[in-house]
Amino acid sequence: MFDQGIRFELAHLASVELLTADLEGSLWFFKELLGMRETDRKGDSVYLRCYEDPYHHSLKLTAADEPGLGGVTWRTTSRDALERRAAALDSEGVGLGWTKGDLGVGPTFAFESPDGHRMELVWEIEKYRAPEDLKSKILTRRSKRPLQGLPPRRLDHVNLMASDVTAQKDVFEKALGFGTRERVLDYTTNTEIGAWMSVNILGHELAIMRDSTGNKGRLHHIAFWYGVPQHNSDAAELCREYGVEIEAGPDVHGITQGAFLYVFEPGGNRVELFGNSGILELEPDFETVTWDFADFDTGLAIGGAKLPAETYFIYGTPPHGPRRGAIASADRSSTASNLADSTP
Amino acid sequence: MFDQGIRFELAHLASVELLTADLEGSLWFFKELLGMRETDRKGDSVYLRCYEDPYHHSLKLTAADEPGLGGVTWRTTSRDALERRAAALDSEGVGLGWTKGDLGVGPTFAFESPDGHRMELVWEIEKYRAPEDLKSKILTRRSKRPLQGLPPRRLDHVNLMASDVTAQKDVFEKALGFGTRERVLDYTTNTEIGAWMSVNILGHELAIMRDSTGNKGRLHHIAFWYGVPQHNSDAAELCREYGVEIEAGPDVHGITQGAFLYVFEPGGNRVELFGNSGILELEPDFETVTWDFADFDTGLAIGGAKLPAETYFIYGTPPHGPRRGAIASADRSSTASNLADSTP
Amino acid sequence: MFDQGIRFELAHLASVELLTADLEGSLWFFKELLGMRETDRKGDSVYLRCYEDPYHHSLKLTAADEPGLGGVTWRTTSRDALERRAAALDSEGVGLGWTKGDLGVGPTFAFESPDGHRMELVWEIEKYRAPEDLKSKILTRRSKRPLQGLPPRRLDHVNLMASDVTAQKDVFEKALGFGTRERVLDYTTNTEIGAWMSVNILGHELAIMRDSTGNKGRLHHIAFWYGVPQHNSDAAELCREYGVEIEAGPDVHGITQGAFLYVFEPGGNRVELFGNSGILELEPDFETVTWDFADFDTGLAIGGAKLPAETYFIYGTPPHGPRRGAIASADRSSTASNLADSTP
Amino acid sequence: MFDQGIRFELAHLASVELLTADLEGSLWFFKELLGMRETDRKGDSVYLRCYEDPYHHSLKLTAADEPGLGGVTWRTTSRDALERRAAALDSEGVGLGWTKGDLGVGPTFAFESPDGHRMELVWEIEKYRAPEDLKSKILTRRSKRPLQGLPPRRLDHVNLMASDVTAQKDVFEKALGFGTRERVLDYTTNTEIGAWMSVNILGHELAIMRDSTGNKGRLHHIAFWYGVPQHNSDAAELCREYGVEIEAGPDVHGITQGAFLYVFEPGGNRVELFGNSGILELEPDFETVTWDFADFDTGLAIGGAKLPAETYFIYGTPPHGPRRGAIASADRSSTASNLADSTP
């Protein structure tokens, strides 16, 4: 069981930085198809948020040669918790030290996961305040639901590939108080193949899956939350119509009970759209569930979906090979055309 | 039972003309919130269609002093059927003669319902052909699903108020072959309060409800079809966010089993969004179902929705009194804002 | 285009007889999991209906050595239409003559499709009248929605395999007035691979798909209608929980726009659950849509579902080989257990 | 802001005891219509759980002269937390002392809310272990999804009426660490009309609403969780079909963003079915949202639902007057009939 002093130190996933090999294409995907709103720009980076995201941004898109994860920012439950976790990360030997933060983000403590993913912890963060015309009549909603695209409500989780799942998982458990809700174990080699972890009652805010290619520090996917199963079907239809590559879904994982749709955004990264709340783990003394790698079909999908072996278990970003997700500009050129006066 | 020669003469509802007292506001509602695409303009009229509507337009919006119904166009099943129905309407004494049609509409035979609603029958009609960038990958879909707003798929039905339901209904049955699927009867006075009619297996393409105000020729509502229950909830949320007046729903009528959401568009007309397919009546010798006016709660709503007596059973267009649906321009100003680069 | 005199002769699909190699298992599937109600028994046959099916039964389950199609019954739009279609079938050389009908079914005219599927046409049929305790408060609903399982509302369509799609299709077009909404064409050999046909505005009530195994007269699947997309996800979950083999879905076909879930019932037949209304074809002069066999991914699925080549394009009933769908009785033993008083 | 030492002391709502004036009727409702499973009986009490509830039971139904709340049990995050909270409750003067617990429940510390609702805190509790035939293939699911009725997944929250909302709320904040997410304030009198509180990221596990009748210690409702919006529509349909009184919904509250359906169970208590996850509050330093009592239409419902003034804001249990929810046994007699062989 967790130590009382560790398990309530982190609050939640605050934001993710994504590197994109096609900034223009990624912006089309996140703004026009997913209806996210741009809140800032700086250098090669554009800052975006979903309409219920609480802070200045939940997604930072940065132009780069290759797609991948720029970083992940976790918010602590207090200023003191930040100090304590910084010390713990230093003890684990993965601390990188304090930073001045970013647009909308105060001082952070940076660290690197054992597999090489850059992360930061933060307490001081800029809460998003909607301008008058974007204020929602629903008071817990930080801004109006957009009329553009099919907008997810907030950033949900991040899924990392790791060359050693156990080593990666251990640091998150020991230094940051993550609880491991579910894992997949290869009993023949006693090797962990995947782990799904959380700092609150969500089924997971962090997942780690084995990178069988031997690469390190790669991103499997980031996920945005609809919370409504139908929206995953709608998203699949829009992706199909507008040329966005669908990898798998809509279906529901047995693991996390999450309703998934996986697509590749034009910049090359895998993005999951999350159509329900997944299992919520309310028990304080929950027991980690272990799936048998030799028999976890239900874990992968409750319905008939197949997760394609040639991508789902191989492809991460940076890809170190052909990049997925590129789409013809013709496919995405028509999005605003019904606002224009036109006689087709 | 229907005469074999009459019942397959009309094919379906092709289009509706709506008069609006706020053309600008109505265009915002139909184009930005409902994502319909404009296909043409002429004089004070704008022509629109949903992404699965088969023809040049399904909705013609015309600026006018008062909201109301400009007209309804029905398509016949053949050219000969058109001739036969024209003759039948003349026999009933409601024919108005042939017209040259309209943009996208060939020669029509015009008539006036006993209560005074203008209608037309047509055979020759312009099928919509999407330009290259609006072509859908789904081949039965006449154009891509838009990324703007929450787009319904097609025009569904029209609901008219009438001072005498029976007289109105009889003409549609006798001259045009409509089948009456359901009706509401006030047994105390043996008066029909409402009738739901169709020329195909849809539960209704035409409804007639008693106008208790004594006015004639008014419109109760036109309906657009989502076919997906969740979309009615989404539409309610967007209407709430953007200041569109919601009258009732989402819920499901017992009558027609139709999933409804009623709102007032800014021009003053009631619009229904239709979130399922309703009952489909496949039996060729179906029996008309009669609801008792004294006990038709389930007919009105299967869930707990109440249809407000002060509007639902009174308000039609033209309203002959205060107009509903007007919305502040502030509420609708922000729709495109997430496409603009901005720091709120 | 259709001849006016032919296209409104058939009304709809009335019932299907399914042969089952495990009557007990099939009854568990259709009654306990799908909540269909038994209405009659005779010999080795059990008669069932969904809660909105209009007649005595829509499904007749008959014990047999091998699964397969016992027969398909179509209802005509009138008594005269039945006589005319019988004559037309005789002209085509496929008529088998008149029969006395069955439980709840009056005199029928039997025929055999070119590929060997037995069918019947009927006019006189017993309408289902619910006993007092099964009457629905929703008057167009023939009986109360059951509390057992996840009940579909009615029989939807039948999909046949045929060694020669075109020959099969031609008879249904010419003798019975079916319209072909969509087809898949192999342009390299100019061979039709599939056809989706209807006698009303439904996207299809009859489909024909090429049997690449060279067998004749086999069944691909029968489909039951939910009309609600979420119910397909629920059905997948229940099938997963109770050991029913899922072949593919939930997803949506581009062809017909039908929301599908394919499972194998314990008796060995493929059953589709249909979670929306599919495309409704209202145009009287619709144009048949042709998909290119070399490029019809979107036709197969709008989302990411894959239809497994080793079963979907091969397996039919009778299977002439290993039978699918068998489930352990342990998996299905617990269905009623929450009604019993028990301390687990 | 909360004191760090208080805010993570309670884990979640573990169970509720409901008093019923019609035990037979209540059992029909919870077992046959809602598909909950009975796990135990003792004296006049029956113990039930939803298929994802983690413990021995989430609902204890006890026969009584009047409907109402028997008690509410909260689980702490640790054994020490239980001790600390017991001391805090004693300090507040509301502690009732330690009890031996109940079936499946270890020692508890009992207390009474300022308004008179009996509650208990517990750490030791019996985790539910499914027998072999009820084990789910989805490993985080404590038992198979039932085939009976329309089963909710778990107990969600409890909503209490109180003569003084602020006094009630203060004790839950100060002694137990609840966070108040939202409240309704009557600015004219500076009186709190309602408060929605949580000990985790759920929008609320406890709500308090002003009892305008002057009664004390009454229950407004308990809620069970579907998490899927469509299920609330399905539940409404089943309640309509089987004679269960629907008060309001399905719709979505602006407050908590919860998808609601309110019905009266046959024993007289209001039950809410909860069709989404509501707003999840991830921010550790969230700000309490205040709705203005003079203008909280959106707070009550996002769609067009009206919460009926004559019941929603008045009726609680015990009712101290006519009891709602009684249903004719004829309405509920037919539930299992499709499992019996019968010729209607």
Q: What is the pLDDT of residue B4?
A: 55
d(CA A62, CA D216): 58
Contacts of C256 in chain B (CB under 8 A): 140
Q: What is the pLDDT of residue A295?
A: 87
d(CA D34, CA D32): 6
What mean pLDDT value characterizes chain B?
A: 94
pLDDT in tens, B57-70: 999 999 999 999 99
Contacts of D284 in chain A (CB under 8 A): 11-12, 75-78
Most D-contacting residue of A280, A288, A289, A290 (CB-CB within 10 A), to test interface: A280
- Which residues, numbered 151 to 170 in chain A, qualify as contacts with chain B under a Cβ-Cβ cut-off of 8 Å? none
Contacts of C298 in chain B (CB under 8 A): 137-138
Concatenated DSSP letters of D145-176: PPSBS----EEEEEEEEES-HHHHHHHHHHHH
Do C337 and D137 lie within an 8 Å CB cutoff? no
Min Cα distance C303 → chain D (Å) is 20
Min Cα distance D162 → chain C (Å) is 35
Chains near D, with 3+ CB pairs < 8 A? A, B, C
Residue in this structure with the two tokens 């949580």, named with its chain if needed: D198
Concatenated DSSP letters of C132-167: GGG--SSTTSSSPPPSBS----EEEEEEEEES-HHH
Nearest residue in D to B260, CA atom: D304
Q: What is the pLDDT of residue A342?
A: 40
- The distance in angstroms from the start CA to the end CA of chain B is 64
Nearest residue in A to C240, CA atom: A302
The tokens for D274 are 């909860």
Q: Is the pLDDT of residue D159 over 90?
A: yes
Nearest residue in D to C130, CA atom: D344
pLDDT interval class at B343 (50, 70, 90): very low
**Residue at A311 is within a domain:** yes
Tell me phi and psi for residue C61, to 5 degrees: -100, 125
The tokens for D318 are 């015990």
pLDDT interval class at A327 (50, 70, 90): confident
Chains near A, with 3+ CB pairs < 8 A? B, C, D
* Sequence-distant (≥ 6) Cβ neighbours of residue C149 within 8 angstroms: C31, C32, C33, C34, C35, C238, C335, D147
**Residue at B36 is within a domain:** yes
Instruction: Calculate mean pLDDT across residues C9-13.
Output: 98
Tell me phi and psi for residue B173, to 5 degrees: -70, -50
Nearest residue in C to D237, CA atom: C145
**Residue at D134 is within a domain:** no
d(CA A145, CA C4): 50
Contact B35, B148 (CB under 8 A): yes
Give the rounded percent of residues in chain C with a pLDDT score beyond 90.
92
- Which residues, numbered 35 to 54 in chain C, qualify as contacts with chain D under a Cβ-Cβ cut-off of 8 Å? 35-41
d(CA A198, CA A207): 9
Contact C102, C43 (CB under 8 A): no
Instruction: Outline where DSSP puts E strands in chain D.
Output: 10-20, 37-42, 45-49, 59-63, 68-76, 95-99, 108-112, 118-122, 154-162, 179-186, 191-198, 206-210, 219-225, 245-252, 259-264, 270-274, 289-292
Q: What is the pLDDT of residue D334?
A: 55
Concatenated DSSP letters of A291-308: EEGGG-HHHH-SSS----
Nearest to D32 among C147, C238, C337 (CB): C147
**Residue at C288 is within a domain:** yes
Instruction: Calculate mean pLDDT across residues D75-103.
Output: 98
Q: Is the pLDDT of residue A319 over 80?
A: yes
Q: What is the pLDDT of residue B333?
A: 60
Query: At D256, which CATH number?
Result: 3.10.180.10
pLDDT in tens, A296-317: 999 999 999 999 999 999 999 9
Nearest residue in C to B3, CA atom: C78
Burial class for B171, CB neighbours closer than 10 Å (0-12, 13-18, 19+): buried
pLDDT in tens, A41-67: 999 999 999 999 999 999 999 999 999
Say how many domains are in chain D: 1
Nearest to D284 among A78, A137, A289 (CB): A78
What mean pLDDT value characterizes chain C?
A: 94
**Residue at C326 is within a domain:** no
Do D261 and B229 lie within an 8 Å CB cutoff? no
Rg (CA), chain C: 19
The tokens for D316 are 């609680």
Q: What is the pLDDT of residue B76?
A: 98
Nearest to B54 among C138, C230, C283 (CB): C283
Q: At C231, which helix (H) or strand (E)?
A: helix C229-241
Nearest to A302 among C236, C247, C298 (CB): C236
**Residue at B156 is within a domain:** yes
Q: Which of B261-275, C277-291, C329-343 has the lowest mean pLDDT?
A: C329-343
Do C75 and B284 lie within an 8 Å CB cutoff? yes
Residue in this structure with the two tokens 């299920």, named with its chain if needed: D231
Min Cα distance B83 → chain C (Å) is 14
Nearest residue in C to B283, CA atom: C11
User: In D146-162, which positions are buried (b, 16+ CB within 10 angstroms) versus exposed (e)?
Assistant: bbbbbbbbbbbbbbbbb
Tell me, yes or no, if B229 comes closer than 8 A to chain C by beta carbon: yes
Q: Is the pLDDT of residue A75 over 70?
A: yes
Do C282 and B80 lie within an 8 Å CB cutoff? no
Instruction: Calculate mean pLDDT across residues B170-191.
Output: 97
Tell me, yes or no, if C302 comes closer than 8 A to chain A by beta carbon: yes
Residue in this structure with the two tokens 């929008």, named with its chain if needed: D203
Chain B to chain C Cβ contacts (< 8 Å): 114
d(CA C274, CA C290): 23
Work out the angle between the directed axes of helices A165-176 and A79-92 (0-180°, nearest 10).
140
pLDDT interval class at C335 (50, 70, 90): low
Q: Is the pLDDT of residue B163 over 90?
A: yes
Contacts of A261 in chain C (CB under 8 A): 303-304
Do D261 and B298 lie within an 8 Å CB cutoff? no
pLDDT in tens, A166-187: 999 999 999 999 999 999 999 9
Nearest residue in A to B33, CA atom: A147
pLDDT interval class at C340 (50, 70, 90): very low
* Sequence-distant (≥ 6) Cβ neighbours of residue D43 within 8 angstroms: none
**Residue at C46 is within a domain:** yes
Nearest to A148 among B144, B148, B333 (CB): B148
What mean pLDDT value characterizes chain A?
A: 94
Q: What is the pLDDT of residue B344?
A: 35
Chain A to chain C Cβ contacts (< 8 Å): 68
- Cβ atoms within 10 Å of D25's Cβ, excluding its own: 20
Contacts of D233 in chain A (CB under 8 A): none
Contact B37, B79 (CB under 8 A): no
pLDDT in tens, B284-306: 999 999 999 998 999 999 999 99
Contact D16, D158 (CB under 8 A): yes
Most A-contacting residue of D282, D283, D297, D300 (CB-CB within 10 A), to test interface: D282
d(CA A251, CA C236): 9
Chains near B, with 3+ CB pairs < 8 A? A, C, D
Nearest residue in A to B35, CA atom: A338
Contact C3, B3 (CB under 8 A): no
| A40 torsion bin: left (phi>0), alpha (psi -120 to 50), beta (else) | beta
The range of the structural domain enclosing residue A197 comes to 4-125+151-320
pLDDT in tens, D312-323: 999 999 999 999
Q: Is the pLDDT of residue D206 over 90?
A: yes
The tokens for C87 are 């004559």
Q: How do strand C59-63 and strand C45-49 relate by DSSP bridges?
A: antiparallel
Q: Is the pLDDT of residue D339 over 90?
A: no
Most D-contacting residue of B228, B231, B233, B272 (CB-CB within 10 A), to test interface: B233
**Residue at A181 is within a domain:** yes
Min Cα distance B228 → chain C (Å) is 7
Tell me, yes or no, if C222 comes closer than 8 A to chain A by beta carbon: no
Min Cα distance A229 → chain D (Å) is 7
